[in-house]
Chains A and B, each alone.
Chain A
Amino acid sequence: MHKPVYIVNDHILSVMGTSTDSNWNSVLKEESGIALIDPLFPSDQAIYGSQLKAYPVVNKKATKLENMFLYSIQETLRQTSIKSSNDRLMLFVSTTKGNIDGLGNKKQQPSDRVELHAMTHFIQQELGLVHTPMIVSNACISGVLAIQTAALYIKHGLIDHAIVAGGDLFSKFTLSGFYAFKALSAGICKPFDKSRDGINLGEAIGTVLLTSDPAAAKALYAVEVKGYGSSNDANHISGPSRDGSGLALAVRKAVRHIRTEDIGFINAHGTATLYNDNMESLAFQQLGLGNVPLNSLKAYYGHTLGAAGVLEVIISIRSLLNNTIVKSLGYEEAGTEGTVNVARTFIKKEIHTVLKTASGFGGCNSALILRKA
């Protein structure tokens, strides 16, 4: 017997605030967390990004990223009746690089916990989680894919509740790599805009709580995970497929059990590189979703890698709960081959279903359908 799966609580820790409320309010005010930043290396361009200067310290022995995870997970559980000691609760960590800044330390210590399983084990111990956690590390789709994985575990009865926490650091390691790829924007990124010129990197944690039983969890809301799917372009390890066919495969699976007319808006990946946004526009057009209001949150947060999927799902849930489609910041003029309906302003309307997508290095794509219960 398959169980329905709901997201019932969440938390965001980012430069925009230490709670989902503060993050949502900043988004509503069209504030961007992206600013000119110390490039951390000799750079011939100005570097923009979002980086946390201060963060809550839960445990003095924890690294920055671990403290961010611990805080966000504790905040997510605090408002519900699910205790971290519940043996039917499982943690899913979404991250690309974990404590990667530890790799640059002159004398690396075991306490740097550079390996993802070491970091996750520490978090598990600190929170007193019983179930062995699962770590999803699948490039930029990690967050969306971790929610899919957790939802499938609950649906098929392996567990009853799941915490999905996604996070990554703003690090010299990752920043220099995107710099080498000539993929960094000269200013605040402009997803789907004609003059878009690359990405900003960002730093954040997003956490969601999933359960099959919202009432027992004393949930504040319930948004059902209605559809999911992932795919691979099988085309190139860094460049997205030109025609969007790979992403379209993931979306087709996600919408298997709904009517596509029901999709109130699309929260796209929208990194603001020339090729990614173009690819997405072609995917949505071929799926007949060209008229559905669409946004990208990258000009608010930058690309927060392992956090991105979870963080963007949380803002999209706020959108559903408040019947407010968020303005796609940075967008002025159409500049993609496929026709898409990018949200130029905040749109107030009755909405119940959102399509969330992500794509990343390795040619991977993923999609989720979330619906207000």
Chain B
Amino acid sequence: MSELNIRNWVYINDQEAVMNDEQQFSFKKEDTADQKLEQLYRSLGVAYPKFFKMDAQSKLGWASAEYLCEGGKVFATNAPEERALVLSNQKSSLDTDEQYQQSLNNQEEFLPSPSVFVYTLANIVAGEICIRHGIKGENNFLISERFDAEALVNYTRILFEEELCKQCLLGWVEAYRGRFKSILWLVEKGESTDDRLFTVKNLNQLYQKSEL
């Protein structure tokens, strides 16, 4: 099998959004997560009203994928079913779980919200990204205590070897109690420089850059 290389990579943390080592956006320290994510959305200049219906984790994943996929340009040569998406995080959907649980604790008024409940699954952010970019291939959502480059690289490599995909978006997306962090890679076959080879070492190095 020819080498897998990292075509694009993106991270968004509480301070900035960075793609391929270049800063795309920087947040004001005093702003709330909601404000930061809305500013990011506005800066992308895309009209996607559904963005405002999403929970913070989905907004974060959606914005990250917006950079990563260059408005869909990256998918020019492959069919929707050849695009895979493998995401991970530590807390699943705990941010929204807690919000939904709050509504259950309200004794006077028992009115659980379906639009909150639907985000109480880890993989809804994946669904939102798939809808936005027409990704119809392999899906997986893995929970791990820490960022696990080895698991992501192992599983993604297998998907390519099995010819279950020709491109794969993968990484980490998590929003919890007003803080957030995502790092996503777009991987495909092809020529590559050493620092863009799809290896555990490179993923860990790039992940380090995204740490505050």
Contact = CB atoms under 8 A, between A and B. Distances in A.
Nearest to B146: A117
A153 B154 contact: yes
Interface in B79-129: 80-81, 85, 90-92, 94, 97-98, 100-101, 104-105, 110, 112-114, 117-118, 120-124, 126-128
Interface residues of B, number: 49
B136 A233 contact: yes
B112 A176 contact: yes
B90 to A, nearest CB: 6
Nearest to B120: A177
B32 to A, nearest CB: 23
Contacts of A141: 139
A320 interface: no
Contact of A42 (B110, B124, B154): B110
Contacts, number: 152
Nearest to B154: A158
Given A117-B144, A158-B154, A173 B134 contact: no
A187 interface: no
A229 B85 CA distance: 13
B104 A41 contact: yes
A235 B164 contact: no
Contacts of B141: 136-138
B136 A103 contact: no
B25 interface: no
B97 A103 contact: yes
A199 B122 CA distance: 21
Interface of A: 41-42, 96-98, 100, 103-104, 114-118, 120-121, 134-139, 141, 145, 149, 152-153, 155-156, 158, 172-173, 176-177, 179-181, 229-238, 246, 249, 253, 361-364
16 contacts: A117-B90, A121-B145, A134-B144, A136-B140, A137-B122, A138-B126, A138-B140, A145-B139, A149-B140, A176-B112, A231-B136, A238-B114, A249-B81, A361-B118, A361-B123, A362-B126
Given A145-B139, A362-B139, 11 more contacts: A97-B120, A104-B105, A136-B140, A137-B122, A137-B142, A138-B141, A152-B162, A231-B138, A231-B139, A232-B85, A234-B131
The 4 closest A-B pairs by CB, nearest first: A362-B127, A177-B117, A135-B143, A232-B130
